[in-house]
Amino acid sequence: MIADPRGIGMTSQRTRDRLIQRLQERGIKNIHLLAVMRQCPRHLFVDEALASRAYEDTALPIGLGQTISQPYIVARMTEILLQDGPRNKVLEIGTGSGYQTAVLSALVPRVFSVERIAPLLKQARERFYELKLNNIRLKHSDGSWGWPENGPYDGIIVTCGAEQIPPTLLEQLAPGGRLVIPVGGSKGQILKVIDRVGGKFEETEWDAVSFVPLLSGQIG
């Protein structure tokens, strides 16, 4: 559970419940995930000026040209990632606000997350500290390289759009592991799922999505 240290704050439980109802209407079924998202204080992951819009099902700006993902997309990708097998250790590429990371941290024993923009990472770190989410490890780096020292991972989730699937991420998947990644250019991507089955990688295509691009190098 993710306890909001400031109480329910400026957003009523009814507003949050309405968001969860919408996620269910759109087909999200994982009850543990829905319970976590019902209770996760998304308004703490955006600027105070945007807090009143935090429980709308939309992406919102988080500064530095980046966005906090739309709740439906967070739910959809998390549901897909957690299906078909235990995921004890998960790597996320693109920490951003930290919202997706926080949702994962309530569902998975160990979460690793990599972000290329230092000020975003710092802010996310402060949020995790305040929310007492202590199973998250963060790294300032270009996530195209993954985080080999802690691999292999049972799940890898990429929350920015990649032109191609970075081969290094495939190498860091454990047997039975699953990679969820938006693949395509700036005009939009397809959500792809790659499962490591024995010595092979099996790829399936899911929804059309629209993420900020995966960029190389690091800032700050």
Active-site residue set: 69
Query: What residues contact 48, with CB distance under 8 A and at least 6 apart?
Result: none
Q: Does 99 bind ligand SAH (CB under 6 A)?
A: yes
Q: How many residues touch ligand SAH (CB under 6 A)?
A: 24
CA 135 to chain centre: 15
CB of 142 to ligand SAH, least distance (A): 5
For ligand SAH, give the closer residue by CB, 148 or 175. Answer: 148
Q: Looking at 159, 177, 178, 181, which residue binds ligand SAH (CB under 6 A)?
A: 159
CB 182 within 8 A of CB 190: yes
**Interaction with ligand SAH in 6-65: which residues (CB under 6 A)?**
none
Among 36, 53, 31, 135, smallest CA distance to 92 is for 135
Using DSSP's 3-state secondary structure scheme, residue 219 falls into strand
Q: Does 96 bind ligand SAH (CB under 6 A)?
A: yes
Stretch that binds ligand SAH, among 2-10, 111-119, 176-184, 192-200 (CB under 6 A): 111-119
Q: Looking at 4, 56, 57, 142, which residue binds ligand SAH (CB under 6 A)?
A: 142
Q: Looking at 33, 93, 133, 181, which residue binds ligand SAH (CB under 6 A)?
A: 93
Stretch that binds ligand SAH, among 26-34, 50-58, 113-121, 170-178 (CB under 6 A): 113-121
Q: Does 116 bind ligand SAH (CB under 6 A)?
A: yes
For ligand SAH, give the closer residue by CB, 11 or 78. Answer: 78
Burial (CB count within 10 angstroms: exposed 0-12, middle 13-18, buried 19+), residue 127: middle
Among 218, 151, 180, 4, smallest CA distance to 82 is for 180
Among 160, 181, 159, 184, smallest CA distance to 169 is for 181
Q: Does 214 bind ligand SAH (CB under 6 A)?
A: yes
Convert 51-79 to b/e letters by CB count within 10 Å (16 or more is b).
beebbbeebbebeeebbbbbbbbbbbbbb
Q: Does 189 bind ligand SAH (CB under 6 A)?
A: no
CB 157 within 8 A of CB 81: yes
User: Applying CB under 6 A, which residues contact ligand SAH?
Assistant: 66-69, 93-94, 96-97, 99-100, 114-117, 120, 142-144, 159-160, 212, 214-216
